[in-house]
Amino acid sequence: MPQYPPRAPGMGEQTISQGGNERAHSEFMKALLTEVRALEDMHSQGMFEGGIRRIGAEQEMFLVDGAHRPSLTATEVLNRINDERFTHELGLFNLEANLSPLELGGTCLRQLHTETDEVVQLAREHAASEGAQVALVGILPTLTKDDLTLAAMVPKPRYHELNAALMNLRGRDFKFNIKGIDHLELDHDNLMLEACNTSFQVHFQVGADEFAHLYNIAQVVTGPLLAACVNSPILLGRRLWHESRIAVFENSVDARSSAHAARGHKPRVHFGDQWVDQSVIEIFKEDIARFRAILTTESEPDPIGMVARGEVPKLNALRLHNGTVYRWNRACYGISANGKPHLRIENRVIPSGPTVTDEIANAAFFFGMMAKLSRSVDDIRPYFHFSDVKANFMAAAREGLRAQQMWFDQRQMTAQALILDVLLPLAEEGLKEAQIASEDIDFYLGVVKKRVELRRTGARWQLESLDAMKGTGSAHECLRSLTSSMIQQQKGGAPVSDWDLAEFCFAQDWRESYRTVGQFMATDLFTVRPDDIVDFAASLMEWRYVRHVPVEDDSGQLLGLVSHRQLLRLVARGSSSDTRVSEIMHKDPRSVSPDTPTVEAIRLMREQRLSCLPVVEKGKLVGLVTEYDLMIVAGRLLESYLDEGV
């Protein structure tokens, strides 16, 4: 059976290094330009495999520990699995399995389902030997910023070289500003935010002459496809987009300097801004022109000569560079086991999970739309403005099935209506014309239909579950309960449309939710400024039932703390109501960072007789821990301890 190359072509066993060395970079650029000319020769000579449709996929997954937090056991699990289909991803809490390509037709969907189940079960069995479990989800809900350090990066030179190269190009930290239900504003100093994302990437092999036509179709259907399968609404405890992977990935490998960003230079992860006119070569040329080579590798000595002799070059440099530019529909060059070169469209938007059944259903929906539109429309470009296609994609990422979508003839409707009324029937026709087994068409498209009718995507299930658990525990405890329920229901195999909402788990190991103050500190804070009148601080305490009010400046810098006791002293002295906060506040109060161990915070408060600890990061106030918070912690842990002793 023909095998596709690994996900990141050219980054496997080759010698990879940064493109910063000028001589190495020059040699690599020469090789890159030579390989583009070789590719043009292959195209003009008709060397690419045609007349056959193959499909394939890559299954990415998270490894989590007994507390449902990231487990850094990927190397150990891979050693246990010892299966060439498996490989590392960026993070030590990620795995990837490359699935066998199949000819589109007959029972190919069922076969893809069977192999995906097989690799996921293999991962589960061997992860269990390392005390870990497998979670299929676009972004793991229990991830924290502490999990995203270089210590969690797979210790392979290519990943560290990539991280260093991107940081050198940017000249500054990665910055995130994502607004959804909540708001996340974050600076991060390494590439590991990319490891937050796992997907079920699908491949669609196409002929060279039809590539442009089919690639444009893939762009058109990607928006509604994404709306149907969103499964990544939570990042670092914040409820953001329904498919937050899109925003996270675009920011996590954004190598643009501030000057390039100001000029409107594209990020390395992007959807595109225009149609493909003639061939795949346009994409490769544009990506070489726009994006500096950040890694280098050894190349073949004479790819043009190889093509002239009828030999098939590997195009190592081209594939490596292509592996560092992350279009959501990516063009891929490969060589099949039969020795023939081929072209594929790799769709990267489908998130991992919620179940294998959901993933295969999403793939069937994509393949069906591609198959039908490729036959029924000669050129899709006259029917759409590209800006509308891109807007469809971004709206779907933000809002899922509620997103407004523009379709043929400038018809505008919700993604839910478009999928149910237009696209599912269209995909059904496409799969029938591809001679897919009728029972498989009914089953997989039925999974998508029920999910869309009920509006029960993975994202909606997560958000509704959190709403149902509100008030039962801390945010971290609820996220652990959510992840626990997700893993258990995934094992059952039923699609997410049939899942029960997650319930708060009172039997969890509470210690894992209280190891650091950042896990349970109060973050919804009411603060005052130094020049505010004291009466305002007193009113805040009365209105919000709190005994401490932090004092900060307009930038969020912690300046002081006002306590209920200070106000009582002020009243006892009969001071004027015009007194300013700056006159009574405790200046420069003792503070801790979010990653301070809870035990250390308890000792500090006891030894210094503190009833409140501000939590500060880079001088900015991010939270507050009080005696009352610690009473809750103590109560949870004591109850758990006593129950164990019964």
CATH number where 436 lies: 3.30.590.20
- How far, in Å, CA of 83 to CA of 120, rounded? 12
Same domain, 481 and 534: no
- Which pLDDT belongs to residue 11? 36
Pair 335, 297: CB distance under 8 Å: no
Residues 339 and 299 in one domain: yes
List alpha helices for 199-334, DSSP H.
211-229, 245-252, 258-262, 281-290, 303-308, 316-322
Considering 491, 508, 525, which residue would you say is the last residue of a domain?
A: 508
Instruction: Look at residue 5 and tell me if it is in a domain.
Output: no
337/220 same-domain check: yes
For residues 361 and 445, the answer to whether their CB atoms sit within 8 Å is: yes
Say if residue 467 is in the same domain as residue 558.
no
Same domain for 398 and 485, yes or no, is no
Nearest to 57, CA basis, from 319, 329, 347, 269 = 347
| pLDDT exceeds cutoff 70 at 256 | no
Measure the CA–CA gap between 323 and 279, rounded to whole angstroms: 19
Place of tokens 């005390």: 131
Residue 356 near residue 492, CB atoms below 8 Å: no
User: What is the span of the domain harbouring residue 499?
Assistant: 458-508
Specify the long-range contacts of residues 439-445, CB closer than 8 Å, at least 24 apart: 440/107, 440/109, 440/110, 440/364, 441/364, 441/368, 444/109, 444/360, 444/361, 444/364, 444/365, 445/361, 445/364, 445/365, 445/368
Cα–Cα distance for residue pair 192/497, rounded to 1 Å: 32
Whether residues 355 and 427 fall in one domain: yes
Assigned domain for 441 exists: yes
The answer on 526 and 498 residing in a single domain is: no
Question: Considering the domain boundaries, does residue 407 fall inside one?
Answer: yes
Question: Which residue in the block uniquely carries the two structure tokens 């405790």?
Answer: 586
First-to-last C-alpha distance (Å) of the chain: 58
Phi, psi of 89 (to 5 degrees): -115, -165
Residues 51 and 73 in one domain: yes
Quick one: pLDDT at residue 164? 81
CA 228 – CA 416 distance, rounded (Å): 8
Q: Please give the pLDDT value at position 186.
A: 82
Per-residue pLDDT at 16 exceeds 70? no
pLDDT score at 260: 52
Enter the pTM of the model.
Answer: 0.85
How far is Cα 552 from Cα 528, in angstroms, rounded to an integer? 6
C-alpha 361/C-alpha 200 separation (Å) is 11
Report if residue 4 sits inside a domain: no
Give residue 644's pLDDT.
Answer: 57
Residue 202: φ, ψ to 5°: -115, 145
CATH number at residue 640: 3.10.580.10
The tokens for 552 are 């900060």
d(CA 255, CA 264): 13
**Residue at 611 is within a domain:** yes
- Pull the structure tokens for residue 363: 């793939």
**pLDDT tens digits, 142-177:** 999 889 999 999 998 888 888 887 777 766 677 778
Higher pLDDT, 511 or 484: 484
Q: What are the structure tokens assigned to 478, written together?
A: 């609820």
Report if residue 8 sits inside a domain. no
In a domain, 401, yes or no: yes
Specify whether 177 is located in the same domain as 244. Answer: yes
Distance CA 86, CA 467 (A): 36
- How far apart are the C-alpha atoms of 385 and 264, rounded to whole Å? 20
- 3-state SS assignment for residue 362: helix
Residue 264's pLDDT band (cuts 50, 70, 90): low
The verdict on residue 598 lying in a domain is yes
Give CA separation, 172 vs 141, 210, 258, in Å: 27, 42, 9
- Number of domains within the chain: 3
Q: Do residues 420 and 409 make contact, with C-beta atoms less than 8 angstroms apart? A: no
Instruction: Tell me the backbone φ, ψ of residue 207, rounded to 5 degrees.
Output: -80, 160
Q: How far is CA 73 from the centre of its chain?
A: 20
- Indicate if 447 and 485 belong to the same structural domain: no
Are 368 and 474 in a shared domain? no
Predicted pLDDT at 266: 67
Residues listed for the chain: 646
CA proximity to 128, closest of 84, 64, 58, 69: 64
In angstroms, the CA 249 to CA 257 distance is: 17
Tokens of 14: 């080759």
Q: Domain boundary residue among 508, 532, 550?
A: 508
Ramachandran sector of residue 106 (left: φ over 0; alpha: ψ -120 to 50; beta: rest): left
Query: What integer pLDDT is reported at residue 511 of this predicted model?
Result: 65
CA dist., res. 90 & res. 139, Å (int)? 14
Which of 508, 533, 549 lies at the terminal end of a domain, its last residue? Answer: 508
Q: Do residue 446 and residue 464 come from a single domain?
A: no
Mean residue pLDDT of the chain comes to 88
**Tens digit of each residue's pLDDT (9 = 90 or more) over 56-106:** 999 999 999 988 999 999 999 999 999 999 999 999 999 999 999 999 999
